[in-house]
Amino acid sequence: MRRLELDFQRRQIASPLGWGLLAAGLLVSALTLLGHLHLAELTALRAGELRHIEGLLQTGGAGLAPLSAGESRAQAASLAEMHRVSAQMNLPWAALLTTLESLQRKDIALLSLAPDARKGQLRISAEARDLQAMLAFHRSLEQSVELRDVSLLNHEVVTQVAERPIRFNLLATWEVKDAHP
């Protein structure tokens, strides 16, 4: 009888694909570690710069050179522009838009709105199906709470279109209430 050999722990031979995947995984891990170390170094550098700048701000910028006259004027102009933009952003735009949306506009198409927050004016360009619709829209704007002194700037009949609509521009004073300048 022939001798029977049983091998319960057969050795697996690694394939080249397996070794390649292992090498690729190790390479990706090494690159990730290098990227992490680089980001940690940058973070530490930026944190140091931030601490330095915060220190200068707390001491009133004692180590900084004084601004020249031109730089001072430019900084003042920039500050004035920021205040102007901030004042415009704090206006009650939602109330104005709600007022315009709530108006009866069956035969009116709003083409453009050009608010001038500094002057408190609103220019409205629109198109009406006929003269009666334009006048009714004008009256409804005059009766609104947000707008006053509504005036018709110009109007024209569009003869190129078969329905002959009327394009017109209105100027209204915008009542700004409860604004936080």
Three-class SS of residue 23? Answer: helix
Which pLDDT band, with edges at 50, 70 and 90, does 73 fall under? confident
Q: Which amino acid is at 7?
A: D
- Summarize pLDDT for 28-61 with one digit per residue, the tens: 999 999 999 999 999 999 999 999 988 888 876 5
The C-alpha atoms of residue 155 and residue 131 are separated, in whole angstroms, by: 10
DSSP 115-129: EETTTTEEEEEEEES
pTM score, two decimals?
A: 0.51
Which pLDDT band, with edges at 50, 70 and 90, does 181 fall under? very low
Which pLDDT band, with edges at 50, 70 and 90, does 148 fall under? confident
- Summarize pLDDT for 84-128 with one digit per residue, the tens: 777 777 777 777 888 888 887 788 999 998 888 778 888 999 999
Backbone angles phi, psi at 23, to 5 degrees: -65, -40
pLDDT of residue 42: 94
Nearest CA-CA partner of 152 in 165, 168, 136: 168
- CATH number assigned to the domain covering 91-174: 3.30.1360.100
pLDDT of residue 12: 74
Domain ranges of the chain: 17-64, 91-174
